[in-house]
Structure 1
């Protein structure tokens, strides 16, 4: 009972009921005031203009006689003294008018109080019912939020109501649940994939140490095992650094500075060409462009795009790098033909076009996901599109807020 009295429904009932009672009381008071001011005049006029002949009088006995029409009372001319009969008639008229006025006002007051009492009960009931109807969607939202947990994030309110503030609140809550479900699902997949990726090199190291170094192996075998352990350790270190970079980019930017993206792309492209195959054709078109952001993270963005384009290219392939004054960075490469439906999957962590073979130089599947995360941190929009056959490969565009984004070509998949 105490919880009900302290509920929002009770507060709204008190508010609505008070407003209705004030409106009803004000209306009754206004009627009484207006009627009181004009009632005496109307009763006095009616009394003074009425002539009554007593039954049995000579005039009423005359066949065809009709009572004369009432004549309004007139003031006596100056200097004329009223007769005693006139004074007595005036006093009787005044007394009768006052008594009729008092009786009428008394009856009106009683009727008004009874009507106000009935109206009070009815208004409180209506206020309670109306408050319940108004707050019912909030109850649905509260119950849904109370039931939610990590196991049933798929539940939605789905409020069926006319457009309004509560409908928008429920729809906003459903949209928030959609984002939370996606985020929790992504975190679970990320944790599972990270555990799997870290477990594999640890298993390789353990097997190499337990099997390869068992007994008294010759120096040549020890050297091979040593090289293998160092290779796996380097791969694990690269994976851990990539995970840390992904976590840092997801946190957003604390401070920004002007970054010459053209010079950054020049430097990263020169470093990528040093390790790229000699038969790889590199085409560049780098217009001057300065963006606001973090120089280190933007360097990782360009470096990962170029590393991905070189690693997944083909013999005698092509690599194109473009920076436009409109704020667009484009990296396109030839390579295996990619199905368009597989492109969004490549932007997720630990996702690859083919299953991992755990060979030297093979990536962990974090390159493009790191690029997408860094782009989001800079407020940029990333899209990816599979290049058609026979060239194949992938084209990735990053629109930075410094420039006005051009229209997105058909077939490109948004990634940030």
Structure 2
């Protein structure tokens, strides 16, 4: 039950208890009242009723009374009055209770409005959008204090996230320079005609290690950039990005003996073309690298982008961990991947207000579905 409903129920319950107590008090006070005579004659004159106290009459001439006249004792009068007061009070209490419920609902809504603002702001927040604030106006009460505390917490979180992202970006940039120098030195050493076979084998291993490090740093840069959100946007045809990335991965697929099956339609997205290319490229390279010789990769772009590959069986419980940085299945550690592929895909999708989900493919492999908001613009046919 929602808080507003509970508050309304409390308001109505308290009102009913007070109303019942008031009716009971009136009924109890009325019980001590007695008519001024031992009996009265109740008569009617057309539509007007009249009562005649018997203590004012020495004798009562029945013949002078109308045919519908009733002679009542004091006790009967008292019971009739108390009964009338009771049911009329009950009707008034029911009507007032309905009004109390409605007023309680309205008042509870006004009281809880700041909480709704806090909840709405919290729903809009995520790691890439910490610029939302409540900025509640009103008297300095408990709700205003709660909203201000929430805003202060968001300020601290935003500062912490920005500092972390800047550190990752700066560290990645700084690491690229020594790696480039190392690669140059290794290539120069290998180009020496006097280099021995052992030196060449060691140089090839070092070049491979250097390349892995460069890919890791490039991945970190992309991850840091997408986590900061999009600073600029433009219209991008996602189907063209898919075709370009399929062509870029053709050599890798040929080396791994993996075939592509592509089916797309025109799909326009408002976003960053470089990051979108990284998203699609990471999906395709993962699908090829974590495949098996003679396997296949299916790419379908319709309501969403779906990439399906064959390969080793992926346990369902291991799928969520694949979206965490540097997390890979145990049997995937021998590949050339850095463990950032799906992390980058998820980060880029979130930066475009999209989502990513994955599930094991029947018979082995993985199915990854990326949902990106499609714009309403269409290319003229």
TM-score normalised according to structure 1 size = 0.44
Larger radius of gyration: 1
Higher strand share: 2
